[in-house]
Amino acid sequence: MPLPRRFHAAVIAFAALLVTTTGPQAEAQNPVPPAGCIGPASAIWITITANGLRSGNGLLAITLYEDNSRKFLAHHGAFYVGFVQADAGATRACVFLPRSGVYAIALYHDENANQKFDRTMIGFPAEGYGFSNNPATLVGLPSFRSVRLNVARTGLATRIQMKYP
């Protein structure tokens, strides 16, 4: 027995509604964070890939700074510090942010897992490090301006190249 036209039209309309609310467009508008995101949960997150880790020993420390040059790399200046297990070659992490905006990211490879950025006796880094935007660091620490990263929406990704002493 054929279905009434009204029922057939209702099924087509319902299917169209499902496609527009659960398809790729809906996912782009309401993305779901990857499993294992660190930090206080929010609607905004960024995926960070640290490339060039020389070993899988220890942890990768992820330090986030708000858009304030006076707090960048200052003692207690970060608003968030998180740790993930290091993987040789590349380590990927998802980090929640409080809101969209401009941030600075500093990473270090805490190979001995003491949750401190170790330095040599004369003050040079003893562990691998990296910064958002991969600025040159041959002469000293990068400027805040060179590491500022605009996170305009959720789900963005950035790559940071690790450097070792």
16, HSE (Cβ side, Cα atoms, 13 Å): 6
Q: pLDDT tier at 137 (50, 70, 90 boundaries)?
A: confident
- The domain ranges of the chain are 1-30, 44-161
DSSP state letter for 88: S
Residue 14: per-residue pLDDT: 44
Written as six digits, the tokens of 132 are: 């958002």
Mean pLDDT (the chain, rounded): 86
Residue 110: per-residue pLDDT: 97
Higher pLDDT among residues 121 and 134, named by residue: 134
Higher pLDDT among residues 76 and 15, named by residue: 76
- Reduced to 3 states (helix: H, G, I; strand: E, B; else coil), residue 28 is helix
Q: What is the pTM of this model?
A: 0.79
Residue keyed to tokens 């940071």: 160
CATH number of 44-161: 2.60.40
